[in-house]
């Protein structure tokens, strides 16, 4: 999979990325959208952490994300250092329909800034954007339906399921479900020096962009210099913020978890 046409023959630059955030904010769903371009309503909670990989292509370099998707429940907190050690990037996720999840996200940011790799690139991501958008405006409906169709097998037998979902259907509630104003989170991100985006793992909106923005900001030079056996060429492209294109995440058929 590493071969992709015109990419230079360098080994892909490995970037270790960790996902943190309160339980059920959609960390695993964001990763699944990024890696497999897929979404499923009932994702098992992550136990400990899950590991996935996905490649990105910068102008002249392949970047390989090694993604650690951690468990969100508070009591797993003490395990987190195991996963964020040596991480070059972190995506801290909160749920825009749940105010407390932003507080948790802030405390993760604080911890990362104090305990993790000093050069770590952190992105703050407000997920479940689809829940606060009217279906028409979002243009999300097709993607959403598609996702549901894909897992029709699982879903057919669950008529009562809607009631079990922690959040009501977006169509009825619209923007009123939002508990975290975009401005507020953005201002905080700005102040703390984080990348910021709002996403929907369900519709896919904004997800890929998060990872491309991170890719742009990663000091690739630095990584190349420090990785073991990092004999790769030191192209100056990284700092010039080249275009980043995702190698395969966008093709629903092609994505396959951790097979690269």
Partner 1 sequence: MTTISAQFRNYREPTKDEGIREFFNAHPAGPDDIPPTGKDVTEISAVMSLKGEDQSYSGRLYLMPPFLAFVSLDRKSARFTLPLYTIRRVEKVNSRAGMFELSLVLWHQMKINVQLTSLRPTADSFCAQLRDALKAQLPQMKKLRPFIRVCYSEHLIKQDGEEYIDAEDDVKDGLEDGVDETIKEAQTEFLGGLGLTFKFPGDPKKLREKSKLKLWKEYLRTHGRNVTLVRYPSVQRLIQVGLPNRLRGDLWETLSGSVYLRFANQGVYEGILAKHKGETSTSTEDIEKDLNRSLPEYRAYQTEIGIGTLRRVLTAYSWKNREVGYCQAMNILVAAILIYMSEEQAFWLLEVLCNRLLPGYYSPSMHGTLLDQRVFESLVSRCLPIISDHFHTVDVQLSVASLPWFLSLYINSMPMIFAFRIVDCFFAMGPKVLFQIGLAILKINGEKLLEIQDDGGFIHLMRDYFNTLGDSAHPHASDSRMRAITNFQELLVVAFREFSVITDDTITSERKRHRNEIVSGIESFTKRAAVRNLKESGAFKKEQLGAIYDTLYKAICAVSASGSGASALAALETTDAQGRPETRIDLKTFRIFLSNVATWARDESIVSNAFVERIDRTVAEHELINRIFFFWDVSHRGALSFQDIVTGLNGVMFNDLMSNIEWFFTLHDKDKDGFLTRDDVLQLSESLLFIFRNEIGDAYLGTVSNFMTNAFEYGDALQPENNEKAEVPEGERAPEPPTNTPYLNLATFRMVVLADELLESFFDTDFSATFKLDIYPGPESPSESTGLIAGIGGLLSNLITDENKKTLNRFADEFGKSIGRHQVTYRPAIGKVDRDMALQEPKTRESLLSPQIRDRSMSSGSLTSGASSTSLAASTSEPLTPGLLPPQLPTIPALPERTPFAIDEVQDDDEDEEDEDDLVVTGGDETLDERSLTSLFKVDAFLQENA
Ligand X SMILES: Nc1nc2c(ncn2[C@@H]2O[C@H](COP(=O)(O)OP(=O)(O)OP(=O)(O)O)[C@@H](O)[C@H]2O)c(=O)[nH]1
Per CB under 6 A, 54 contacts ligand X: no
- How many residues form the binding site for ligand X (CB under 6 A)? 22
Q: How far is CA 121 from CA 109, 152, 156, 197, 233, in A?
A: 11, 38, 41, 14, 22
Binding segment toward partner 1, per CB under 8 A, in 37-45, 126-134, 178-186, 195-203: 37-45
Nearer to partner 1, 167 or 240 (CB): 167
CB of 34 to ligand X, least distance (A): 12
Which is nearest to 26 in space by CA: 121, 122, 150, 125?
125
Closest residue to ligand X, judged by C-beta, is 72
Binding segment toward ligand X, per CB under 6 A, in 3-11, 17-25, 102-110, 190-198: 17-25
* 85: CB partners within 8 A, 6+ apart: 116, 117
Answer with the entry of ligand X, partner 1, Mg ion, none that 186 interacts with (C-beta below 5 to 8 A by kind): none
Kindly provide the residue ranges of all beta strands, DSSP E only, lying in the chain, ordered along the sequence: 13-21, 49-58, 61-70, 89-95, 121-127, 195-198, 244-246
Answer with the entry of ligand X, Mg ion, partner 1, none that 51 interacts with (C-beta below 5 to 8 A by kind): partner 1
Answer with the entry of Mg ion, partner 1, ligand X, none that 25 interacts with (C-beta below 5 to 8 A by kind): ligand X
Per CB under 6 A, 42 contacts ligand X: yes
CB of 16 to ligand X, least distance (A): 18
Task: Show contacts with ligand X in window 189-218 (CB under 6 A).
Answer: 200-202
Nearer to ligand X, 24 or 215 (CB): 24
Is there a contact between 56 and 65 (Cβ–Cβ < 8 Å)? yes
**How far apart (Å, rounded) are the C-alpha atoms in residues 89 and 16?**
6
Per CB under 6 A, 180 contacts ligand X: no
CB of 223 to ligand X, least distance (A): 26
Is there a contact between 81 and 9 (Cβ–Cβ < 8 Å)? no
* 4: CB partners within 8 A, 6+ apart: 57, 62, 247
Binding segment toward partner 1, per CB under 8 A, in 103-111, 121-129, 171-179, 208-216: 103-111
Q: What is the DSSP string of 147-200?
A: HHHHTHHHHTT-TTHHHHSSS--HHHHGGGG--S-HHHHHHHHHHHT-EEEE--
Per CB under 8 A, 73 contacts partner 1: yes
Q: Quick one: how far is CA 99 from the chain centroid?
A: 19
Q: Which one of 36, 37, 46, 127 is in contact with Mg ion (CB under 5 A)?
A: 46
Nearer to Mg ion, 127 or 133 (CB): 127
Task: Name the DSSP class of 211.
Answer: H
CB of 218 to ligand X, least distance (A): 23
């Amino acid at each position: 999979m590493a071969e992709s046409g015109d990419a230079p023959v360098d080994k892909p630059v490995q970037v270790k990325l960790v996902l943190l955030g309160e339980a059920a904010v959609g960390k695993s769903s964001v990763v699944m959208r990024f890696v497999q371009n897929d979404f499923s309503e009932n994702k098992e909670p992550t136990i400990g952490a899950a590991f996935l990989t996905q490649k990105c292509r910068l102008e002249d370099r392949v970047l390989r994300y090694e993604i650690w998707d951690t468990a969100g429940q508070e009591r797993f907190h003490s395990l987190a250092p195991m996963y964020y050690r040596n991480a070059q990037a972190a995506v801290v996720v909160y749920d825009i329909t749940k105010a407390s999840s932003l507080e948790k996200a802030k405390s993760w940011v604080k911890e990362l800034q104090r305990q993790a790799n000093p050069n770590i690139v952190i992105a703050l991501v407000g997920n479940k954007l689809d829940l606060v958008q009217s279906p028409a405006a979002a243009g999300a409906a097709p993607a959403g339906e598609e996702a549901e169709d894909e897992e029709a097998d699982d879903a057919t037998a669950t008529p009562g399921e809607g009631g079990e979902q922690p959040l009501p259907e977006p169509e009825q509630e619209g923007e009123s479900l939002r508990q975290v104003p975009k401005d507020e989170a953005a201002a905080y991100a700005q102040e703390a020096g984080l990348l910021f985006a709002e996403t929907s793992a369900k519709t896919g909106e904004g997800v890929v962009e998060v990872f491309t923005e991170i890719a742009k900001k990663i000091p690739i030079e630095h990584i190349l210099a420090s990785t073991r056996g990092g004999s790769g060429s030191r192209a100056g492209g990284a700092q010039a913020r080249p275009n980043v294109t995702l190698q395969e995440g966008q093709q629903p058929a092609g994505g396959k978890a951790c097979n690269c």
